[in-house]
Amino acid sequence: MSAAPKKVGVVMGGLSPERDISLKSGRAVCGALKDAGWDVFPLEVFQETREDIQRLVRGACVDVVFIAMHGGFGEDGRLQKILEDMSVPFTGPAQEASRLAMDKAASRRIFERAGLCVPRCRVIRRRQRLLSFLHGLRYPIVVKPASQGSSIGVSLVPGWKEMSAAVVKAFQYDDTVLLEEFVKGMEITVSVLNGLALPIVAVIPKKSFFDFQAKYEKGLTEYVVPAPLEASVAQRAQRDAVAAYQALGCRHMARVDMIVDEKGRPVILEVNTVPGLTETSLFPKAARAAGIAFSALCAKLVEMALTP
């Protein structure tokens, strides 16, 4: 950190279903940055409009914004665009990369063009006939909103009988829904910090599916870092994670969620540009395994945001 302390505004909250998770991330980041010696100002968002964000940031007179706001507005490029227009530096990917990463249909096309493995999938929009989109897909099928995080609105569908209810559930959160073949294998996450892959975290849910409850209810999921993978598989997963990060045009940080299938191939599920940021979240777990303490990680992200 420079000799003249910069004031950091930590943006958290918002109106998405991930508000409570965002507040936990934001409070943890505030504490970590204070421990690292930064002048920190929490910025809790209650209204997701350009005017409210401008008023919040300008009123706090901050030099840089740490984005800890999960879900739609905080991750899909809208918040980033406002900050860019204000010429306020911020952590994480810029507006266009954030938009692409949040849109699972758009990012999937980018990954395919980059030669990366993704699950077989169909994209369906409101008022389109479901049956015509299922041709060629094998059950079980994962049904998910195109632009949500934290497994919100996601269902694992074993057969046709359960499909309609799962699609209705997903459409509660988005106008576009993905029907994705379930990939059997080990779920992993590869965190990328400033273009470099951190140690891989294996995600081992005690339930059959890593849903919202498994993610956030204590004791329902085991995390192992480094993941128990053959060296060649781990290296490929890290390489593919960095390739996905670069293909989207990310910067500073991202978390790439994958499944290593039964053939040992890393299959990309999605890229998170504002990953969970409590001390027990997966991105900080990976950083800690690389020897980077949580306070140092948060400080490093602020320093990157302040570097032209």
Catalytic residue (one of 255, 281, 288, 295): 255
Catalytic residue (one of 98, 107, 150, 151): 150
Reply yes or no on whether the pLDDT at 20 is more than 70.
yes
> Which structural domain, as residue segments, surrounds residue 34?
7-91
Q: Supply the pLDDT for residue 207.
A: 59
Q: Supply the pLDDT for residue 174.
A: 86
**217 falls in which pLDDT band (50, 70, 90)?**
low
Answer yes or no: is 1 within a domain. no
Residue 268: CATH number of its domain:
3.30.470.20
Q: Are residues 106 and 227 in the same domain?
A: yes
Q: Are residues 105 and 199 in the same domain?
A: yes
Answer yes or no: is 288 within a domain. no
Q: Are residues 126 and 215 in the same domain?
A: no
Answer yes or no: is 237 within a domain. yes
Q: Supply the pLDDT for residue 173.
A: 87
Q: Supply the pLDDT for residue 211.
A: 47
Answer yes or no: is 137 within a domain. yes
**Is there a contact between 228 and 202 (Cβ–Cβ < 8 Å)?**
yes
152 Cβ contact list (under 8 Å, min separation 6): 17, 18, 145, 173, 212
Q: Are residues 203 and 70 in the same domain?
A: no
Reply yes or no on whether the pLDDT at 252 is more than 60.
yes
CA distance 284 to 185: 24
Q: Are residues 265 and 170 in the same domain?
A: no
Catalytic residue (one of 120, 216, 223, 249): 216
The reply to whether 51 belongs to the active site is no
Compute the average pLDDT of residues 193-204.
97
The reply to whether 155 belongs to the active site is no
Answer yes or no: is 307 within a domain. no
Report the mean per-residue pLDDT for the chain: 91
Catalytic residue (one of 14, 16, 18, 108): 18
Q: Are residues 199 and 108 in the same domain?
A: yes
The reply to whether 272 belongs to the active site is yes
Q: Output the CA torsion 244→250→251→256 (10° steps).
A: -40
CA distance 78 to 111: 22
Residue 142: CATH number of its domain:
3.30.1490.20
Catalytic residue (one of 9, 14, 77, 276): 276
Reply yes or no on whether the pLDDT at 46 is more than 60.
yes
Answer yes or no: is 232 within a domain. yes
The reply to whether 255 belongs to the active site is yes
Q: Are residues 148 and 38 in the same domain?
A: no
Q: Supply the pLDDT for residue 71.
A: 87
The region, left, alpha or beta by phi > 0 then psi within -120 to 50, assigned to residue 273 is: alpha
Element (H, E) at 222: strand 221-224
**212 falls in which pLDDT band (50, 70, 90)?**
very low
The reply to whether 63 belongs to the active site is no
Reported pTM: 0.90
The reply to whether 194 belongs to the active site is no
Q: Is the bond preceding residue 140 a cis peptide, omega within 30 degrees? A: yes
CA distance 269 to 266: 10
Compute the average pLDDT of residues 50-65.
96
Q: Are residues 224 and 105 in the same domain?
A: yes
Reply yes or no on whether the pLDDT at 78 is more than 80.
yes
Q: Are residues 70 and 53 in the same domain?
A: yes
Catalytic residue (one of 272, 281, 288, 295): 272
Q: Supply the pLDDT for residue 220.
A: 66
Q: Are residues 162 and 199 in the same domain?
A: no
Reply yes or no on whether the pLDDT at 245 is more than 50.
yes
**279 falls in which pLDDT band (50, 70, 90)?**
confident
Q: Which of 147, 181, 215 is the last residue of a domain?
A: 181
Q: Are residues 64 and 196 in the same domain?
A: no
Answer yes or no: is 299 within a domain. no
Per the DSSP assignment, residues forming a β-bridge with 12 are 44
**pLDDT tens digit string along 104-154?**
999 999 999 999 999 999 898 887 777 666 777 899 999 998 886 656 788
Q: Which of 181, 203, 223 is the last residue of a domain?
A: 181
**pLDDT tens digit string along 225-236?**
999 999 999 999
Answer yes or no: is 295 within a domain. no
Element (H, E) at 231: helix 231-248
Catalytic residue (one of 48, 173, 257, 288): 257
Q: Supply the pLDDT for residue 216.
A: 46
Count of positions (residues) in the chain = 308
- What is the number of structural domains in the chain? 3
Q: Are residues 45 and 62 in the same domain?
A: yes
